Amino acid sequence: MIKRRAGRTGQYLALVGYLVFLGFPLLWLVSTAFKPPRELATLHPTWWPKHPTLDNFRQAFDEQPLLHAALNSLLVALSSAVIAVLLATPMAYVMARHRSRLSRAATGWVVVSQAFPFVLVIIPLFLILKRLHLINALPGLVMVYVVWTLPFALWMLTGYVRAVPRELEEAAAVDGAGRLRTLVSITAPLLAPGIVATGLFAFITAWNEFFFALVLLKTPEKQTMPIILTHFIGAEGVADLGPLAAAALLATLPSLLLFALIQRRIAGGMVAGAVKG
């Protein structure tokens, strides 16, 4: 009994330790974003702003083209998510339903594509996109993001298709429904939540992406949020902390909100992929 209670206490201590480790950086980011300059430029920073202010947010918008960057990010993330899902869904269906050589090769490619360093892909892509005059252009970045999110989209969607009972499709076939009809009226509705989750995941991935955007987008009016954020850090690594924190907070909100909606589904999809892949 005593031993058991000690075990419980230990568990709670571990949990609190974890919450502190996980929570404090987040708390500090939020706190910094709302601090007036005088509370930031001190050797003894306060844990929480004594005089909270929105000035940092205003200043962030003044210093960098944040709104424009957010629009660029939105445009790029939305187009890549929609295109990636449209391309991936049919193939994922085939991979889940037909155990052919193709689906095995595709699964192998999904694993391999996780392993190669981006630098090996970005140099040729840079040269190709340059020839197509798509450097410093959002469509070029969308192309890269679509292909970059495809492996994971296929991975997740294949799991979702497997979760749709094959018997339902067979029953429809017995009832005389054609292949297309079965897909549209039986499979698609059951698959819809998975497709939405995959799309949102692709959106978040593109919204957060940094490396490809850094290489491909040259001028501030084309750059996406993550790149603009780094402009708040000066050349010598000196930063205006308040606006930096405020902008960073703003950049996180969209993906955080979307992620909260779908995180359960993603965890399931990842495990399904890991176990069955």
For residues 203, 209, 215, 216, the Cα torsion angle rounded to the nearest 10 degrees is 10
Binding letters toward other proteins, positions 194-233, x by CB under 8 A: ----------x--xx-xx--xx---------xx--xx-xx
Of residues 81 through 110, those in contact with other proteins by CB under 8 A are: 86-88, 90-91, 93-94, 98-102, 104-105, 107-109
Q: What is the DSSP string of 154-217?
A: HHHHHHHHHHS-HHHHHHHHHTT--HHHHIIIIIHHHHHHHHHHHHHHHHHHHHH--HHHHHH-
- List the Cα angle 189/94/82 in 5-degree steps: 55
N-terminal to C-terminal alpha carbon distance within the chain: 44
What is the footprint of other proteins within residues 238-257 (CB under 8 A)?
239, 241, 244-245, 248-249, 251-252, 255-256
| Distance from C-alpha of 201 to C-alpha of 152, rounded to nearest angstrom | 9
> Of 111, 168, 184, 192, which one interacts with other proteins (CB under 8 A)?
111
Residue placing its CB nearer to other proteins in the complex, 30 or 190: 30
Closest CA to 157 of 89, 84, 105, 98: 89
154 binds other proteins per the rule CB under 8 A: yes
In whole angstroms, the minimum distance from the beta carbon of 235 to other proteins comes to 10
Site residues for other proteins, window 22-81 (CB under 8 A)? Answer: 22-26, 28-29, 32, 40-45, 47
Stretch that binds other proteins, among 131-139, 146-154, 168-176, 189-197 (CB under 8 A): 146-154
Q: How far is the CB of 18 from other proteins (least distance, A)?
A: 6
